[in-house]
Amino acid sequence: MLNLSYTSIASNHPLLGEIISENLKKTVEKYPTNDALVSLHQNYKVTYEEFYKDVIQLAKAFLADGIEFGDRVGIWAPNCYEWVLVQYATAEIGAI
C-alpha cells in the first residue's frame, strides 16, 4: 500500500497537493509548446511536450534496467539538463 506524506508550514500559498509527476503532466497539457528546460552551456532547449517525452523515455530505460518503485537512484553531475531528467524520470516510476 502506498502512503503519501504531506507536510506544510504556515504560508499564504497552499501546497498543490499533487506529486511531481502529476504536476508535470498537467503542465504539459496546459503549455505543451512553451519552453520547459533551457541549458545554455549545453545548447539544450526543449518544450514541455519534448521534455515529457524525454522523461518517459528515461523512466522506461530505468525500468528496463531493473529500477523499481522505492529504489534509490543517485546522480553525480554538475548543473545539467540530465540531472533534471533523472529527477522527473525517477518521480515518474516512484523511485527516489
14 pLDDT higher than 60: yes
- 10 within some domain: no
Distance CA 26, CA 15 (A): 15
SS3 state of residue 63? helix
Q: What is the pLDDT of residue 4?
A: 60
Mean pLDDT of 19-41: 95
Q: How confident is the model at residue 16 (pLDDT cuts 50, 70, 90)?
A: confident
- 49 within some domain: yes
Q: How confident is the model at residue 7 (pLDDT cuts 50, 70, 90)?
A: low
- 76 within some domain: yes
Mean pLDDT of 10-23: 80
Number of domains present in the structure of the chain: 1
- 14 within some domain: no
Beta carbons of 44 and 37 less than 8 angstroms apart:
yes
Share of the chain above pLDDT 70, in %: 90
1 pLDDT higher than 60: no
Mean pLDDT of 33-50: 97
